[in-house]
Amino acid sequence: MPHVQWLRERLGDGSLLASGPLAHLDVRAALLIMTAPDRESLERLIATDPFALEGLIEDMVINEWDPLFGAFNASSSIPARTQG
């Protein structure tokens, strides 16, 4: 499946940190945790997803997130300073 290959490539280049389907919804939806230098770069990257190219993304919300605690802390604004 081209979309899955795209996800694997994003994992390989480090732009995708995690992804998966959202459960218990009436529509198919997913959460992608991605990293990019800025919003425009992220939007350009997502535009290369086969789902986007085929017009299958009906709605998308992009929020910036600062993972101060947990597995993604290395990507935070203060890495290591908030870890136990």
CA distance from start to end of the chain: 40
pLDDT per residue as tens digits for the range 48-77: 999 999 999 999 999 999 999 999 999 899
Q: What is the pTM of this model?
A: 0.89
Radius of gyration of the chain (CA): 14
pLDDT per residue as tens digits for the range 3-31: 999 999 999 999 999 999 999 999 999 99
Q: What are phi and psi of 58, to 5 degrees?
A: -85, -30
